Chain A
Amino acid sequence: MEKTTRANQSYEQSIHRIGRIWMSLALLVILAVPLAISVNFQTWPALGSLMGGLLPIMMIYVPIGIIEVITFSPMLGSGATYLAFTTGNLTNLKVPCALNAMEIAEIEPGSDEGEVISTIAVAASSLVTNLVLVIGVLMFVQLAPILSSPVLQPAFENILPALFGALGYLYISKNWKLAVVPVSLMVVIFMIAPTAPVGILIPVSALSAIAAARFMYNRKMI
């Protein structure tokens, strides 16, 4: 038992060490892109123009970036968090993918086994997205007219309802009491402000779900 606990702790330590190394390398690689472009094309952005574009974006995306880590990392586990926050597309791909994988494997999110399954799911997903994008680059001429055809537009415009309808059924049918407050709150907010960005409302929705869960847990309603 003690041996298992030690082994689990050693995995936890090593995944954080490897994760931090890879995350730091990723930041260097990502930053090297604009740097290489500026060097190669000999065009450095003036500080004023850079800040003019950057400030409005950072005002929104700095808090979102931090809130996403706080919201998604307990669901994803350590390994998957390090990988998903390098490869991106979290809400529309990596988090649902990890959820789906744990559901199929009948493993609780946040458990030790969930950590493994979630990491495998995010890694497989990242590899496939990468491959699809490479194919897209190589076959740009052939694919562009098909993907951007007007016939298919309603399908791509409704990809999120198509994803979250099925995923919503899976989770809400099992935890319907947890869903009453956040779903009601989100419907009201979106009816008042239909164009509100979902990214900003995810933490609001998550916090309302946690508060409702705590209320019901304390009163032994769940």
Chain B
Amino acid sequence: MADYRNSTFMFVLGAIVALFVTVQSIVFLRKAWQEGKRRGIAAEVMRKTVLSSAVFTLVPSLSILLTMLTLSGALGLALPWIRLSVIGAVTYELPAAEAAAQAMGASLIISDIPVSVFSVITWVMTLGIMSGPIFIIFYFKKLQGRVNKIKVEDNRWGALLISAMFVGLISSFLGSALAGGVVSILTLFSSALLMVVCLMLEQKAGFKLFKDFALPLSMIGAMALAILYSNLLGGI
């Protein structure tokens, strides 16, 4: 069989999925924009949100693209494209594909995966990540009702609860980075320091753009420094 993984059929599937995600994003963008107008949020604020989010997304998207290229060696280009366009993440797709390949006595390190193994991999990668979306369809509205109730009963605690969740999320990654070796720790602190510099430039020198793009600027700067640290320290 010719390379079925990179066949036109597979790319047509990829295009359908990409089109679906694009349409859904536009529908939700439109709906939120209308709601923002109704609530009196300035169009300028919403435009700025689109721009800053788009710029921020570029670097993490390159990392997702890198995963697509990594997976393409074993799975072709189309399947990783499909999988990384929908629910899932870099941290999920690779273990899921490897677990499926191993169940068939194969591995992702071989580049000529038989179509029977490929089929099992696609099923496992798809079915393994369905719990979140299914939970949302049946229980999210109820869950949101409970959160809203907390906010109505005690507004201050409601706000604190959400802040605590944010801080909890961030803390888990800080802990991981702090225990991840010297380069990881230096990159973490460099990023924080660059954020301080961006905010100071905005506050003291009045450069508004430094606030709007502080996160991508800090991130790119810290990633560039990670290359320097890694070369200086030999990848500790």
Contacts and interface: CB of A to CB of B under 8 A. Distances in A.
Given A79-B31, A161-B188, A164-B177, A88 B215 contact: no
Interface string B155-170: 0111111111111111
Given A44-B119, A88-B84, A75 B64 contact: no
A160 B176 CA distance: 9
A92 B29 contact: no
Interface string B125-148: 011111111111101110110010
B89 interface: yes
Contact of B129 (A61, A126, A130): A61
Nearest to A177: B167
Interface string B1-43: 0001000011101101110111011111101110110110100
A32 to B, nearest CB: 8
A110 to B, nearest CB: 4
Contact of B89 (A89, A161, A179): A89
Contacts, number: 534
Contacts of A172: 167, 170
A54 B128 contact: yes
A183 B192 CA distance: 15
**Interface core residue of A86, A105, A137, A165 (most chain B CB under 10 Å):** A165
B104 interface: yes
A140 B57 contact: no
Interface in B151-199: 151, 156-180, 183-185, 187-192, 194-196
17 contacts: A12-B144, A31-B126, A53-B102, A95-B169, A97-B57, A101-B52, A126-B21, A128-B53, A132-B62, A132-B65, A133-B68, A148-B70, A158-B184, A165-B195, A168-B173, A205-B175, A209-B167
